[in-house]
Amino acid sequence: MGNGVKTDSQSEKIKGFFKKNLLLMILVLLSAGAITANYYDKKNSQTINVTVDPKLVEKSSSSAEQTQKINIFVYDSASKAIESKEVFIPKQLNIIEGDFINEIIKDSPYVTKEMKFQSAYTLNMDDKNTTIVKLNSQFAGLKSDKVLFDGFSQAVTQTIMKNFPNVQAVVIQIDGETTAQ
């Protein structure tokens, strides 16, 4: 029977040890789990398994292909004529003046990459809806060639007036200079 007392005493000591060191044991187990996960990640870092829902891929690719056609005028410096042109832009809810002007700039070979469209807005001036088109200072170089600049200006004016019927006049400004069309 003396043996039974010793066993109870040992089991009490073991229970006490576990009670005192429970937090430490949990932390050791969590550390072991983290080390195991880290080892597994390093071992399998070259393999990435990704599954994509085919319906989502189909939707995103079809939406990326949606474009819409717009009509612009572009000055052809070789023939010295303004030509009508159809271009495609990404489909959007509202097409604004800047969309048209940016396409004119893209399709004009005499316009350099530094020449940028800045803004366009419509005001009521002298009882007329007038669109103000602002271009950066690089267009001053184009303005030195009067024929080329006039052709570009007429292309912008015709494009704006054709696509925005409420506009009666277009003013092109280059860094504070004003050219009324």
Of residues 73 and 65, the one with the higher pLDDT is: 73
Q: What is the pLDDT of residue 163?
A: 94
SS3 of the chain: CHHHHHHHHHHHHHHHHHHHCHHHHHHHHHHHHHHHHHHHHHHCCCCCCCCCCHHHHHHHHHHHCCEEEEEEEEEECCCCEEEEEEEEEECCCCCCHHHHHHHHHHCCCCCCCCCCEEEEEEEEECCEEEEEEEECCCHHHHHCCHHHHHHHHHHHHHHHHHHCCCCCEEEEEECCEEEEC
In a domain, 119, yes or no: yes
In a domain, 144, yes or no: yes
Which residues span the domain enclosing 81?
A: 67-174
In a domain, 40, yes or no: no
In a domain, 88, yes or no: yes
In a domain, 180, yes or no: no
CATH number reported for the structural domain that contains residue 108 in this entry: 3.30.300
The mean pLDDT of 128-136, rounded to a whole number, is 93
The mean pLDDT of 56-74, rounded to a whole number, is 74
In a domain, 74, yes or no: yes
In a domain, 2, yes or no: no
In a domain, 81, yes or no: yes
Does position 41 have pLDDT exceeding 90, yes or no? Answer: no
Does position 4 have pLDDT exceeding 60, yes or no? Answer: no
Does position 106 have pLDDT exceeding 80, yes or no? Answer: yes
Does position 2 have pLDDT exceeding 70, yes or no? Answer: no
Q: How many domains does the chain have?
A: 1
